[in-house]
Every structure is written in C-alpha cells, then in structure tokens.
C-alpha cells in the first residue's frame, strides 16, 4: 500500500459547513504538505506543517499533525463553492535532504451553493 | 516573477512516437522535480534534478523514460516509443535551495497532459 492515503475519497457538503479531510502516511517525515487541485489544473500549495509542529492555521485552513499515529487532518471552515477541488496531502520523508514528495490519492471536495 | 512554465500544455502522440515535455523553473531556481498523475490518482514522484545532474531517479520507469536539466534551457522529460499507459498529466516543480527549510518548498507548473492514441 502507498504512503499518504486519504479519507474520505469524496466529500459533499453545503456552503458554510466545515470540511475535514484526513491523511495517513507510513514512514517518518520531515514535513507534510497539503495541496489543492482544481479540475484539470495544476497544484496550489496550501500549507506545510513540520514534524515538530502539531497544529497550524492559515486563514480558513487548520492542519493538525499526529506523528504518533502518522496522520494529519485538514479542516476548511465556512466552506465556499470556490473550495470545490481535489485536496492532496504530500509527505516529505524523514532523512531526505530535498523536497521529494509522496502524495496521497486525494479527497474530492464538492461544496454546493 | 513568472511561475513554473510547462509546455506544451496538451500533447497528443500515437503509439510508438516520442514525447518531449519541457519545464522552465521559476527564475533563480536550480532544482526541478517531475511527477506523474495518472487518471483519478495522486501524483507520483519520478525524478529530481539539479543543473546538469540527476540526483534521484527512483520513480522513473526503467525503460523509455529519461530526463535532463542542462546548464542552459529548460528541463526535458523524454518518453520514447510511447504506449497508451503513458497517458497522464506530467507536472514539474521547482525549488530554490538545498539548505534550510526552504528546500522543501516546491512550486508546481500547470502540467502537460499527454494523450497516447
């Protein structure tokens, strides 16, 4: 099985609700990153959390990291229709001195107006 | 400051032809990563290059695929004798440094969508 598995695979919510996506990984990490990808487009970097951090905020985004469980979660609060996209976690393996990333399968988020 | 540029954005090749994908990193960036995204999947690391050097090619298929990043010009991902299974989106990313926290920050291009007919 692969590093960076995400749950759920798809999430459908109403505008204004919160969206939570989870990610698991298998090896030690230097950091874990979250990206957004709109349909057929490139990736947009959302947030990076280092292995010694437990929580990080950026606007409506909140990321947590639990290294004991090798898991991370991304919370989007007060969602908007424009948040509709695929969300990927990507881990940078511990001991790696460069930015090589291992991506999860992604969560498809649909926010209904 | 222009972002990472990739061309072509869309490429159609018949089975057996060659595909050349180009990536121009952000200005001042000398480190390039290539990833492949198969339909309905996440991105998979292929190769990491610095100028004139391949540092990590652990994700590259053993045959038909090659990559380079010359001293001048863009990075090239080359696929010889393409097959239908090569149809995917190919993304490159660039980064600035090899030291310090910034070495983990990557900036992605818009991708090249390769279709093999």
- In the prediction, which pLDDT does B103 show? 65
Q: How far apart are CA B52 and CA B30, in angstroms?
A: 10
d(CA A86, CA B117): 27
CA A6 from chain centre, in angstroms, equals: 8
DSSP annotation string for A50-70: ETT-SEEEETTEEEEEETTTT
Mutate to test the interface with B, among A101, A102, A108 (most CBs of B within 10 A): A101
User: Which tokens sit at A13?
Assistant: 């919510």
Instruction: Provide the CA A28 distance to its chain's centre, in angstroms.
Output: 17
pLDDT tens per residue across span B53-92: 999 999 999 999 999 999 999 999 999 999 999 999 999 9
Dihedral sign of CA atoms B8, B23, B89, A37 in order: negative
- The kind and range of the H/E element at B77 are strand B75-79
Q: What distance in Å separates the CA atoms of residue B87 and residue B38, rounded to the nearest whole number?
A: 7
Rounded distance, CA A79 to CA B77, Å?
38
Residue-wise pLDDT tens digits, B95-116: 886 666 666 778 899 999 999 9
Distance CA B79, CA B25 (A): 20
Q: How far is CA A71 from CA A83, B43, B114, in A?
A: 23, 19, 33
Q: How far apart are the first and last CA of chain B?
A: 36
Please check whether residue B24 touches A, CB under 8 A.
no
- The distance from CA B75 to its chain's CA centroid, rounded to whole angstroms, is 7
Confidence of residue A93 (pLDDT cuts 50, 70, 90): confident
What local confidence, expressed as pLDDT, does residue A1 receive?
A: 30
- Cα separation, B40 vs B54, whole angstroms: 29
Contact status, residue A48 vs residue A33, Cβ threshold 8 Å: yes
Mean pLDDT of A44-62: 94
Give yes or no for B43 touching A (CB within 8 A).
yes
pLDDT over 70 at A32, yes or no? yes
Mean pLDDT over the full length of chain A: 91
**First CA to last CA across chain A, in angstroms?**
36
**Which of A98, A102, A103, A107 has the highest number of chain B CBs within 10 A, making it the mutation to test binding with B?**
A98
């Amino acid at each position: 099985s692969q590093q960076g598995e995400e749950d759920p695979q798809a999430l459908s919510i109403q505008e204004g609700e919160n969206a939570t996506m989870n990610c698991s990984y298998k090896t030690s990490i230097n950091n874990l990153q979250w990206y957004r990808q709109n349909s057929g487009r490139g990736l947009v970097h959302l947030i990076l959390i280092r292995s010694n951090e437990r929580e990080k905020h950026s606007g409506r985004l909140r990321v947590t990291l639990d290294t004991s469980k090798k898991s991370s979660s991304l919370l989007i609060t007060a969602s908007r229709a424009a948040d509709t996209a695929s969300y990927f976690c990507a881990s940078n393996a511990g001991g790696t001195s460069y930015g090589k990333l291992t991506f999860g399968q992604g969560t498809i988020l649909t926010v209904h107006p | 400051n222009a972002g990472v540029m990739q061309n072509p954005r869309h490429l159609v090749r018949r089975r057996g032809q060659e595909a050349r994908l180009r990536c121009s990193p952000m200005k001042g960036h000398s480190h390039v990563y290539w990833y492949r995204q198969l339909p309905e999947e996440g991105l998979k690391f292929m190769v990491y290059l610095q100028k004139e050097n391949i540092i990590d090619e652990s994700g590259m298929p053993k045959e038909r695929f090659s990559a380079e990043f010359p001293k001048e010009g863009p990075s090239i991902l080359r696929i010889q004798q393409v097959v239908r299974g090569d149809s995917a989106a190919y993304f490159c990313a660039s980064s600035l440094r090899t030291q310090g926290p910034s070495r983990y920050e990557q900036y992605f291009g818009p991708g090249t969508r390769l279709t093999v007919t």
